[in-house]
Amino acid sequence: MAEKMQEQRRKSVSILGATGSVGGSTADLLLANPELYSVSALTGGRNLARLVELAHVLKPGFVAIADQDRYAELKNALSGTGIEVAAGDAAVCEAAARPSDWVMAAIVGCAGLLPTLTAVRRGATVALANKECLVSAGDIMMREVQASGATLLPVDSEHNAIFQVFEQHRRKSIDKIVLTASGGPFLGATLAEMEQKTPEEAVAHPQWNMGAKISVDSATMMNKGLEVIEAAHLFDLDVDRIDVLVHPQSIIHSLVAYTDGSVLAQLGMPDMRTPISYALAWPERMETSVQRLDLAEIANLTFSAPDMDCFPALALARGALRSGGAHPAVLNATNEIAVEAFLRKKLPFTGIAELVSDALQTVSARAPQTIDDVISLDLEARADARALLSRGRAVA
């Protein structure tokens, strides 16, 4: 397979959000296969040192940093390399617009909406690692994908697993899809115990090495709720055909059930390089140094239904998907504010879902029609969430 890929021209790649964990894993794969890939553009947020380091080894034609104030530093750091540099939000979108075959969309938060949309609109193959694109702007993004002829490849391990075993040409034979969840660090805890959980405990994920916000989302299972919303858009399924199954070992990454009783699953060790490599090499596969799965050594795989009483965030996300309109965007924005308050010890762990629930009960905004609408709605929902916190949800 590698020989076949080498016969083809090198695939040009852009990484939006190169300094994050997904961007870093993508860079590792590119560096391991320099004969297969060239780099067109890199972007970063504020981590200038890491962006400069990647620029020196990947040698892109264009580098942009979102922080406008770091332009002079970036220019000086890359002086003499021949790399074009720029700064600011417009520069990040310019990086997305630069010609490349494949774009990793890994900018975190709503800051990733416009750059990802820019790449989609030029018909690129976009590897999607930004949740907001489908949670807060799913209808808009999928319309743009269809209109431009872009290819959207999911990078989240669960969606990527489904993509690998979802037989598009047999959609009528698909009964449902099943997203697996590790259950996070508080699996088996009671509600009373969860009320006392600290940020330090919440970010200690048993299987995945993730940032603080995503780790807390795993602990509340909000991450799985957000993934249900994403899956509905990616695979064009209604919420009743998307299940969640708790699987603490994180070996089976997701499953697709068919109407003949067959269930196809994708398995592998928990390592983000596997789904990234699949998206990077698609429609082929590439060799990686990921640890090989040894089922005999693991011996036992366990499964259970999610406890909806202890993990109400999952039900909130499913409800937001059913309600549609502005609800998913409000859910996402409010959750971010709630998680931030919890990490600052201004909100108890169980207060995260409570704050989101309160916000969803007052949604009155119409469904966003444009990305600008989504950004405005996101800002408004964050302000409303902070107001709810100030009216009594903060803790000493």
The 10s digit of each residue's pLDDT in 233-260 is: 999 999 999 999 999 999 999 999 999 9
Q: Are residues 216 and 195 in contact, defined by beta-carbon separation less than 8 angstroms? A: no
The pLDDT value given to residue 7: 45
In this prediction, residue 396 has a pLDDT band, given cuts at 50, 70 and 90, of very low
pLDDT value of residue 208: 60
- The 3-state DSSP class for residue 36 equals coil
Topology of domain 159-386 in CATH is Rna Polymerase Sigma Factor; Chain: A (1.10.1740)
Q: What is the pLDDT of residues 89-125, one digit of tens each?
A: 999 999 999 999 999 999 988 899 999 999 999 999 9
Q: Cis before residue 283, ω within 30 degrees of 0? A: yes
Give pLDDT tens digits for 338-356.
999 999 999 999 999 999 9
Q: Which helix (H) or strand (E) holds 358?
A: helix 351-360
Q: Where are the domains of the chain?
A: 2-154, 159-386
Give the number of other Cβ atoms within 10 Å of residue 21's Cβ: 17
- Mean pLDDT along residues 259-278: 96
Predicted local distance difference test score (pLDDT) of residue 252: 97
Residue 5 confidence (pLDDT) above 60: no
Confidence of residue 168 (pLDDT cuts 50, 70, 90): confident
pLDDT at 4: 47
pLDDT band, very low/low/confident/very high, at 209 (cuts 50, 70, 90): low
Q: pLDDT class for 212, splitting at 50, 70, 90?
A: confident
Rounded-to-integer distance, Cα 316 and Cα 338, Å: 14
Q: Do domains 2-154 and 159-386 have the same CATH topology?
A: no
The per-residue pLDDT for range 19-44, each reduced to its tens digit, is 999 999 999 999 999 999 999 999 99
Residue 207's pLDDT band, with cuts at 50, 70 and 90, is low
Mean pLDDT of the chain: 93
* Encoded tokens for 64: 């942009």
Contacts of residue 110, Cβ cutoff 8 Å, sequence gap at least 6: 132, 136, 374, 375, 378
Question: Residue 137 is which amino acid?
Answer: A
- Cβ pair 180, 245 in contact under 8 A: yes
Q: What is the pLDDT of residues 287-319, one digit of tens each?
A: 999 999 999 999 999 999 999 999 999 999 999
Name which of 178, 226, 220 is nearest 199 in CA terms: 220
Using alpha carbons, select from 162, 153, 253 the residue that is nearest to residue 208.
253
Q: In Å, what is the CA distance from 392 to each residue of 328, 346, 350, 387, 395?
A: 24, 11, 14, 9, 8
Domain 2-154 part of CATH 3.30.499.10: no
